Structure 1
Amino acid sequence: MTFLPTPPPRAVHLHAEHHQDALGIGEPSPRLSWRTETDAPNWMQAAFQLQSLGVDGQVLEETPRVQSAGSVLVAWPFTPLTSREQRRLRVRVWGRDGSASAWSEPLSVEAGLQTPADWQARFVTPDWDEDLTRPQPAPLLRTTFTVRPGLRSARLYVTALGVYEARLNGSRVGDHWLAPGWTSYRHRLRYQTFDVTAQLTTGENALGAMLGDGWYRGRLGFGGGRRNLYGERLALLAQLELRYDDGTLERVVTDERWRASTGAVRASDLYDGETCDARLEQPGWDTPRFEDRHWTGVRAVHHDLGTLVAPDGPPVRRIQTLAPVSVHTSPSGRTLVDFGQNLVGWVRLRVNGEAGQTVTLRHAEVLEHGELGTRPLRFAECTDRYTLKDGENVWEPRFTFHGFRYVQVDGWPGPFDPASLEAVVVHSDLERRGWFESSEPLVDRLHENIVWGMRGNFLDLPTDCPQRDERLGWTGDIGVFAPTATFLYDTAGFLRSWLADLAADQLPDGGVPCVVPQVLETPIVAAVWGDAATFVPWALYERYGDRDILAAQFSSMQRWVDYVAGRAGKSLLWTQDFQFGDWLDPAAPPDNAAAGRTQPGVVATAYFARSAELLGRAADVLGRPEARETYLNLARDVRAAFNGEYVTPSGQIISDSATAYALGLTFGLLGTDGQRHKAGERLKVLLRENGDHISTGFVGTPLICDALCAVGAVQEAYLLLTQEECPSWLYPVTMGATTVWERWDSMLPDGSLNPGEMTSFNHYALGAVADWLHRSVAGLAPAEPGYRRLEIRPLPGGTFTRARARHITPYGEAVSGWFIEHGELVLEVVVPPNTSARVTLPTTGEVFEVGAGTHTWRRPQAPAAAPTPVTLDSTYDELRVQPQVYRAVLEVVEAHSAEHVQAFRRAFQSAAGTMTLRGALFGVPLRDALAHALQTRLNEHPAARVLLGEHR
């Protein structure tokens, strides 16, 4: 027998910090990470070596062979990069088994401009007066310059007050959209770096840019919003650096010699849309031979160059396009185009018609009574207008975006051809890292909706919604969603940037505004929302192993916890101040989303305890023993205060709500085993009494399934997950949703829209349940920060026969998947190289410690219990596991006596599993006739597994 040797490991995917593209980075000493590919089982890294090469391939610096298993966020071992400096890096690794890799492919790393002194450019704005009360035509700015022979390289460093599109010799620079994005502009303004060498020619060249209002001076906020929040003048900052073979460096910079005009874009606003008149284009304005004698001059605008920062995360890009799936005419005669997916971006059109004809595109997420559902948009027009020029017109907006599935088309010249439109999906170009699939199609669609919701709301920063007059960086949403986000996509740089804005916009007393960047007239500070200051950095540390994010945010975290301690006072109970509470509890009325079942003080104090604990743990990671002791002791004392004020000795929690018990069980707020047992039992009773419907809002929803599993109620968690009636996670799916809704009932069962003023069909917060799908249903979680060690512990349940999660960890691909077939449960696990895993088998509880490689376990699986025969003596506990049968029962009762159906439900569901169906019918008129109707319906119902028994 011939044994083939195991191929040597391959060191791949070397990258600096969290950058996909390491051009123009802001870190002089970026940390380095690499993944190793190998088929060798149990492979662990023993050593590595790094080299720094010049652009000509010459070795400039190298480390010795470093005896270490570290391969993620390894400290920069070379001389720090200076501004503009370029290095090429490579790594090779050795395994504990004696294997050795070749050198990896080189990674090019180039620093941006690190100090204000590196900038010779100054911000310039058109030298004209503007009406600052409304959107203005988009300025065009340009200059010309000469390139000598022997050009080696060219870099364009550029940003704007507003948003920009840079142009060079008639073509677009880069593929970024809505750059430089949205940050806390007074503290941090990003600039971008582009390699434009290939766009230049020897001789005359032209550099230009178009500017839009964007977030800088466009409308922001709800209730109509406000304009000019950051400034009144749009301005461009551009520095083009030309490096020649002879070593000389020339610069083309924004200064008083630039020229300005306007073109086809007559108005642009993020909320209202873009208006373009193609007849007003100035062809060739961005080329060197264009005559600009009728253009005006520019003047300088002051903006502190010390605020300029290189981007941490990826830019906004056009990601994909979608064709219409249908076109129909509304009752009022409007042409409505359905793209089949609620998305974020805009529509690109291709049209021929008479010059001067205006095509109007209005966007919305849903239809209402067959017409475009614009009421949820509030004061946002979400309308693009394009006036045709002669010949073929191909157009898409530049400086706006919309959240939509449907588009109303008005003014189309001639017969409308659906192929003339395509939807362009736009968001930050994050790398996809996580996937989930199961045997339940509705759950898989729910997960896909969560992904789409995240995509649409991760447009430069984590927003609440992408469609109405809001689109703000609500802290509470990302605070609860961060664990899900970090699994689905690489959000490390994206969220690091946003956290820097959070720290910058933190109030002098340490309060964290509920939106970041802070743009509200009066900042709102509240629990859960402000706790994003601690929850998000900790999520990044857990999922990416990034200790430095804790260091960068520690002061912000500490200031927040100290602020809450000051508000709570000696009692350690945060009972004063406005609180959102368990926002959007389904019991809250449409006009008061904060009026949930859980007392605000319960929520605020629980989060106080958790944030203090996370701060203490962060101090421990960072080696700060005094802070560790201070804040872990504070967390202990707040838990004791919570327990003394809100928990009875037996374990009942004030408010007696699912959210209260979920907080108590998952945040460690219950002091004794007896209290935890009582809380768990009470939580199960509440779930049953509520008919296995969700009864939590922003606070309880991310925790409820974990809380149930913590008390052994795994099947109850699955019942909650798979409920299809409103309110539930799957109700929107059954209503055709393709993203996660803001409210559990954003659309009512009859197809009408929720009457509340606040109704969005693309809010990711309630999709935080996906984290539980990944960790518990499929069973894939980090046991140590950054998945250095994996926790594989699936919890099969419900009607699921398979589930699988896959995640690209910092070390490589990890998989946990199980399926049931032929009386066996099969668990398949993939552990990345240089890691290990603790695996707990779901059927037997056996625990295995395994290394890198693919592992499979098979264990006998008891067949699912046959459903209990349904009779009039059946209890709710017997019907709840057959939800389709129970729904048939409810349909018959409602048809028989609609005014009694709610009383019937309450009686049947609330009796702790003791009341029978016969007993619950007491008080319903014509009880015997109803019982007969029930038997007839169930006998006909395809989901009924047994016939209804005798009703005597």
Structure 2
Amino acid sequence: MTPAPWSATMIAADQDFDGAPLLRKEFRLDEGHGPVVTAQLRATAFGIYEAQINGVPVGDDVLSPGWSSYEWRLRYRSYDVTALVEPDTVIGVALGNGWYRGRLAWHGKSGLYGDELGFFGQLDIEFADGHVQTIASDPSWQSGPSATTANDLYDGQAIDARREPEGWARPGFDTGAAAPAGARSGTWVGVHELEFDADRLADPVGPPVVRNEVLKPVEIFTSPGGKTLVDFGQNLVGWLRFTVQGEAGTTITVRHAEVLEDGELGTRPLRSAAATDTFILSGGQDFFEPSRTFHGFRYAEVTGWPGELTAASLEAVAVHSALERTGRFECSNPLVNQLHHNIVWGLKGNFLDLPTDCPQRDERLGWTGDIAVFAPTAAFLYDVKGFLQDWLLDLAAEQKAAGGLVPITVPDALKYCPQPPEFPAPESSAIWSDASVWVPWALWEAYGDDTVLKDQYGSMASHTRRVEGLLSPAGLWDEGFQFGDWLDPDAAPDQPWAAKADTGVVATACLYRTASITAATAALLGHDADAATFGRLAERVKAAFNTHYVAADGTIRSDCTTVYALAIAFDVLQTSQQRDFAGTRLAELVRNNQYRISTGFAGTPFITGALADTGHIEEAYGLLLEQECPSWLYPVTMGATTVWERWDSMLPDGTINPGEMTSFNHYALGAIADWLHKYVGGIRPLAPGYSKVLIAPVPGSGIDWAKTSLRSPHGTIAVEWRTSADGALELDAMIPDGVEAEIRLPGQDSRTVGAGAHRLTSAAV
């Protein structure tokens, strides 16, 4: 049905009911119009909501409407509820604080967007004769208490089953009856309207957050301190759920953490986030699921459980945005396979409505720098087109409100939080602000749909122009604060910005890439004058980079791995001799460091590609396969099941990094998977959306075979290769209809093939 015009108003409960009010509207279907043909509920909230029709959830989503830049975009969701409406029908809505009113960031502040929770919804029912009955949120609704007594995304949820108002979302419920034991209000009360501009309503471009995998415990054990600990075998994001029966008033407490330290929960990395759920039993059989919060955890500490706690007693529910898996990778090295597994789970845990940095501590923000470098990896592993396009709309809204400045987090909660006096005023930052350009381009390359470029072009151009205005007289981006090569492993734990790489070198190289992409985007969209302008900017930046940062012998200022990796990957050097020198010097630095990682957020995503593209394959594989700290495989050897924020988030002796900022689920350093897919696996796009593809696996020591596949917009591309006993490379490739593939094998001329199965063999490699 065509949705009826909005007639709803934003309503709030007359009492706050512990931050978790219930709302209900009971009505009868209009008579004399024949059967119901279709019924659609559209809903959103200030806070988070769960909606029911006659006691049945209207959808599979949780934590809706998610977190967007609420000041300008409040997304709503639509549900087909035709099968749920009856002659007597109740719309029931449970509210929670969510991101709107709960704590955000590490400053201890809550209620950044508003003081009151609200619901805005409309049920449109179409009958056989075309009549439409509309039930919208308005002052006629009622509100009452729920069993939830506290809820916060950081701190957890408290549920008192004795307060559960049985049947509250079904017809006939008595809203005037005495409240259940423990409730702080005797009867239900009314609602009132809140000020709300319906022009802020936005269709969601991305998918909802849903329950995904369910994990059972792999071990239940007693800690040295006598605590009962549950290990789920996988660092995940979500909550525990269970059915239990015990004496009324019994309290079960569940604390969550990602790791153990000295045999106990390692909670220090959570900082101020309590990450604790409490459950009070009713005396009957109680089902608990704290869906108004989420935690990043592998381990749970359970106290107060009545009777014996067994693996059958409870389960962990992993929640994240509903994304379809598109890319896969597997090889002969089990540690690399575990690394890839960790990268996938890091993505899942941090793609919870928006791309966050981490899911567990008092932060969980949409840091732009992380997704700027991880977007190509994400777009291979999953269909993230809608997910990231939705987030980019928030980025553009925040950027417009900030006068063209792309903030370091989107949505930008930090603008409402106090900053220390010594903290610099917000300004564009390389990589972080460059997300406005790099992420749309990654989506264009992955999916070949120029919608994202059209939608984001204004944002891309605005950012590029703003940074042009920040250049020093030398034409360099070398003034003001920069994150630079954030979390260089040689930096002190409390100084993550103190990298070896000169921040001006990093920022200027990034600007060259940004200006080049913006120029290419302008040309694609027919903005010829802009294309010329941004092209000239790119050339000026390249000239300045080479004049001021590249010595006569080819050495780049600060002479470290990151500056050479970026110079090669971004093609900012002017001559082939400079590029050859940079590759040779990069490989030398890698060998001198015994193949241990020496790059941070800026250099890590690009270093193996820079090595491979300059002919230093063994050094690239040496970096990939190194197991000593710092390296990609060191966390794997330490039992990691997700990617860590720091190379040494856990030290070799099993203690947690002493810095105040460390997480065991951060996806940024997992950008190495892009190299695994493209170079080890051998699938690279030669045209946007893989309408033309390069099949070019680059074998190296330590991996004897690899299998990679991608469900592209044109069909599945699959590559499998192995080295034979005599060192020859045997390759099988499957190319979908309509796709042209260029196949390059070591020691052979490239060949172009069409759709179908292809088997090729090269000489010893």
What TM-score do the two structures reach when normalised by structure 2?
0.96
Q: How does 1:407-426 map to 2 (within 5 A)?
A: 407-426=300-319
Q: How does 1:684-695 map to 2 (within 5 A)?
A: 684-695=587-598
- The answer on 1:391 being equivalent to 2:284 is yes
SS of the equivalent of 1:343 reads: strand
Offset of 1:307 from its aligned partner? 1.0
Tell me, which stretches of 5 or more residues in structure 1 are unaligned? 1-83, 86-111, 131-135, 863-952
- Counterpart amino acid of residue 722 in structure 2: F
Paired residue for 1:467?
360
- In structure 1, distance between residues paired with 2:563 and 2:19: 53
- In structure 1, distance between residues paired with 2:710 and 2:694: 13
Q: How does 1:439-454 map to 2 (within 5 A)?
A: 439-454=332-347
- Counterpart amino acid of residue 535 in structure 1: W
Q: How does 1:213-292 map to 2 (within 5 A)?
A: 213-224=97-108, 226-292=109-175
Q: Structure 1 356/257 Cα, relative in aligned 2: closer, same or farther at 3 Å?
A: same
Aligned residues of 1:137 and 1:263 also touching (Cα < 8 A): no
Aligned residues of 2:644 and 2:663 also touching (Cα < 8 A): yes
Paired residue for 1:926?
none
Q: Give me the identity figure in percent.
A: 52
Aligned residues of 1:137 and 1:262 also touching (Cα < 8 A): no
- The answer on 1:828 being equivalent to 2:732 is yes
Residue among 558, 572, 580 paired with 1:655: 558
Offset of 1:418 from its aligned partner? 2.6
Paired residue for 2:13?
126
Paired residue for 2:402?
508
Please list the CA deviations of residues 170-202 of structure 1 after superposition, one character each: whole Å capped at 9, or x if unmatched. 11111100000110011111111101011112x
Aligned residues of 1:743 and 1:759 also touching (Cα < 8 A): yes
SS of the equivalent of 1:143 reads: strand
Aligned residues of 2:239 and 2:291 also touching (Cα < 8 A): no
Aligned residues of 1:462 and 1:473 also touching (Cα < 8 A): yes
Offset of 1:138 from its aligned partner? 0.5
- The answer on 1:204 being equivalent to 2:88 is yes
SS of the equivalent of 1:571 reads: coil
- The answer on 1:579 being equivalent to 2:464 is no
Please list the CA deviations of residues 42-97 of structure 1 after superposition, one character each: whole Å capped at 9, or x if unmatched. xxxxxxxxxxxxxxxxxxxxxxxxxxxxxxxxxxxxxxxxxx44xxxxxxxxxxxx
- The answer on 1:165 being equivalent to 2:50 is yes
SS of the equivalent of 2:150 reads: strand
- In structure 2, distance between residues paired with 1:621 and 1:389: 63
- In structure 1, distance between residues paired with 2:403 and 2:465: 9
Tell me, which stretches of 5 or more residues in structure 2 are unaligned? 177-186, 420-425
Residue among 664, 674, 688 paired with 2:567: 664
SS of the equivalent of 2:312 reads: helix
Paired residue for 1:188?
73
- The answer on 1:151 being equivalent to 2:54 is no
Offset of 1:407 from its aligned partner? 0.1
Between structure 1 and structure 2, the one with the greater Rg is 1
Offset of 1:829 from its aligned partner? 0.7
- In structure 2, distance between residues paired with 1:859 and 1:574: 46
- In structure 2, distance between residues paired with 1:180 and 1:278: 26
- Counterpart amino acid of residue 416 in structure 1: L
Deviates more, 1:362-371 or 1:566-575: 566-575
Aligned residues of 1:651 and 1:677 also touching (Cα < 8 A): no
Aligned residues of 1:581 and 1:596 also touching (Cα < 8 A): yes
Q: How does 1:431-830 map to 2 (within 5 A)?
A: 431-506=324-399, 507-520=401-414, 521=417, 523=426, 525-823=428-726, 824-830=728-734
Aligned residues of 1:543 and 1:786 also touching (Cα < 8 A): yes
- In structure 2, distance between residues paired with 1:277 and 1:341: 29
Aligned residues of 1:650 and 1:674 also touching (Cα < 8 A): no
Paired residue for 1:318?
211
Aligned residues of 1:574 and 1:604 also touching (Cα < 8 A): yes
- Any runs of at least 4 consecutive aligned residues in structure 1 with deviations exceeding 4 A, and if so which? none
What TM-score do the two structures reach when normalised by structure 1?
0.77
Paired residue for 1:336?
229
Q: How large is the RMSD of aligned CA atoms in angstroms?
A: 1.2
SS of the equivalent of 1:405 reads: strand
- In structure 2, distance between residues paired with 1:480 and 1:453: 14
Offset of 1:524 from its aligned partner? 5.8
- Counterpart amino acid of residue 558 in structure 2: S
- In structure 1, distance between residues paired with 2:495 and 2:763: 51
SS of the equivalent of 1:501 reads: helix
- Counterpart amino acid of residue 13 in structure 2: P
Offset of 1:255 from its aligned partner? 0.6
SS of the equivalent of 1:419 reads: coil
- In structure 2, distance between residues paired with 1:390 and 1:524: 57
Paired residue for 1:36?
none
Please list the CA deviations of residues 14-63 of structure 1 after superposition, one character each: whole Å capped at 9, or x if unmatched. xxxxxxxxxxxxxxxxxxxxxxxxxxxxxxxxxxxxxxxxxxxxxxxxxx
Please list the CA deviations of residues 893-915 of structure 1 after superposition, one character each: whole Å capped at 9, or x if unmatched. xxxxxxxxxxxxxxxxxxxxxxx
Aligned residues of 1:346 and 1:424 also touching (Cα < 8 A): yes
Residue among 6, 21, 35 paired with 1:139: 21
Please list the CA deviations of residues 792-812 of structure 1 after superposition, one character each: whole Å capped at 9, or x if unmatched. 111111121101210000011
Deviates more, 1:844-853 or 1:334-343: 844-853
Offset of 1:414 from its aligned partner? 2.1
- In structure 2, distance between residues paired with 1:666 and 1:820: 28
- Counterpart amino acid of residue 174 in structure 2: E
SS of the equivalent of 1:568 reads: coil
Offset of 1:817 from its aligned partner? 1.6
SS of the equivalent of 2:488 reads: coil
- In structure 2, distance between residues paired with 1:169 and 1:681: 69
Offset of 1:415 from its aligned partner? 2.2
For these two proteins, the number of residue pairs brought into alignment is: 741
Deviates more, 1:513-522 or 1:178-187: 513-522
Aligned residues of 2:625 and 2:702 also touching (Cα < 8 A): no
- In structure 2, distance between residues paired with 1:191 and 1:518: 20
SS of the equivalent of 1:216 reads: helix
- In structure 2, distance between residues paired with 1:170 and 1:469: 34
Q: Structure 1 309/509 Cα, relative in aligned 2: closer, same or farther at 3 Å?
A: closer
Please list the CA deviations of residues 750-777 of structure 1 after superposition, one character each: whole Å capped at 9, or x if unmatched. 1000000001000000000100000011
Offset of 1:230 from its aligned partner? 0.7
Q: Structure 1 129/713 Cα, relative in aligned 2: closer, same or farther at 3 Å?
A: closer
Aligned residues of 1:142 and 1:209 also touching (Cα < 8 A): yes
- Counterpart amino acid of residue 465 in structure 1: C
Offset of 1:137 from its aligned partner? 3.6
- Counterpart amino acid of residue 153 in structure 1: T
Aligned residues of 1:649 and 1:675 also touching (Cα < 8 A): no
Offset of 1:128 from its aligned partner? 2.8
Aligned residues of 1:509 and 1:563 also touching (Cα < 8 A): no
Quick one: higher RCO (CA 8 Å, sep 6+), 1 or 2?
2
Aligned residues of 2:40 and 2:123 also touching (Cα < 8 A): yes
Please list the CA deviations of residues 312-336 of structure 1 after superposition, one character each: whole Å capped at 9, or x if unmatched. 1111100110000001111110000
Offset of 1:679 from its aligned partner? 1.3
Offset of 1:129 from its aligned partner? 6.1
Paired residue for 2:181?
none
